[in-house]
Amino acid sequence: MPGTIEARLAELGVTLPDAPAPAANYVPFVQVGDMVYVSGQVCSGPDGLIIGKLGADMEVEAAAAAAKSCAIALLAQCKAACGGDLDRLKRVVKLTGFVNSTGDFGDQPKVVNGASDFLVEALGDAGRHARSAVSAASLPFGVAVEIEAIFQIS
């Protein structure tokens, strides 16, 4: 039976996928006390990874949607860290967003807003967080966005 957070996600038309497996030699999350540190999640959609470079071949709106997909994967990892009970999530503490972009592109914050806006819409005040949004010359597999997160859980 889904909990309160998953019911809210369902209202938004979002079903959490299984937590993605790591793509290299790392763990998907580490819990220290009541904090969960989730490794960077790359953007993906129904057709696979979302590839692109802002300032070259991708628009901000498409990249913001890609960032939202990262946030959904982050919640899936948090659910796994919580033993399947996402209602143990107390708050999103921090996001660090990496945007695959050209040297002259400066709208990284608008891109990462796709994740931030979604988390606030889904979690209310518990979704408000500190954040960094930075440019990257390239990202793994050529993806447009990668985001890591810190969550507080009960």
Q: Which amino acid is at 143?
A: V
**Rounded to a whole number, what is the distance in angstroms from the first to the last CA of the chain?**
19
Q: Which residues pair with 97 in a beta bridge?
A: 133, 147
Can you give the pTM of this predicted structure?
0.97
Nearest to 147, CA basis, from 68, 90, 53:
68
**In this model, does residue 2 exceed pLDDT 90?**
no
Which CATH architecture fits 4-8+27-153?
Answer: 2-Layer Sandwich (3.30)
- The mean predicted confidence, pLDDT, of the chain is 97
Tell me which DSSP letter residue 103 carries. T
As a whole number of angstroms, the distance between CA 86 and CA 142 comes to 30
In sequence order, what E strands does 16-144 have?
29-32, 35-42, 44-45, 48-49, 89-100, 130-136
Residue 1 has pLDDT above 70, yes or no: no
Return d(Cα 40, Cα 17) in angstroms, integer. 16
| H or E element at residue 112 | helix 108-123
Residue from 81, 69, 76, 82 nearest 112 by CA: 69
- For 106-146, the pLDDT digits (tens) are 999 999 999 999 999 999 999 999 999 999 999 999 999 99
146, two tokens = 């990668």
pLDDT of 3 strictly over 90: no
Distance CA 117, CA 37 (A): 20
pLDDT in tens, 48-75: 999 999 999 999 999 999 999 999 999 9
Return the percentage of the chain with pLDDT > 70, whole number.
Answer: 99
